[in-house]
Amino acid sequence: MSPLEIMKSCIGQEFSASPSPFMHWLNPVVKSVEAGALEFEYLIRPEWLNPIGNLHGGITAAIVDDVLGATMFSLDEDYFYTTINNVIDYFSTAKSGETIIAKTHIIKKGRQFINAECEIWNADKTRLIAKGSSNLFKTEIKKNT
């Protein structure tokens, strides 16, 4: 089964099939999967908060980086990609117990580089929490498929 097929089989469930220990800790629920476009749902936990009780910017950035990494897997490429940069714009806050949605898509895919974007929304998608964009580079590390 390809990585894309594995992801699709997890729709509506926690993404326990991920090879990433960090993603297991984040514990997203897979909402939708297409090649180059994912939608994951996260329940904000107390340990994700900053000192004033809002979703910590570092956790937001980590979600962006992690879900964009999963987006690379959805492409069923033979090689791993690594993040070159992450640029995050923070627009709003979220609190413990709230659900947030991370939605990704590929902006441009070249032979070596991919530019991808992630938007993080509140549960009903009426408030944009953050938006991140990343450039990713195709490594020489071949996947074991």
Q: Which residue has the higher pLDDT, 16 or 49?
A: 49
Q: Taking the domain 3-142, which CATH number applies?
A: 3.10.129.10
Express the helix, strand and coil content of the chain in percent, nearest 5 each: 25, 45, 30
Sorted by sequence, the CB contacts under 8 Å of residue 45 that are 6+ apart come out as 96
Task: State yes or no: pLDDT of 144 exceeds 90.
Answer: no
Region 86-106 average pLDDT: 98
Angle made by CA atoms 28, 82, 87, in degrees to the nearest 5: 75
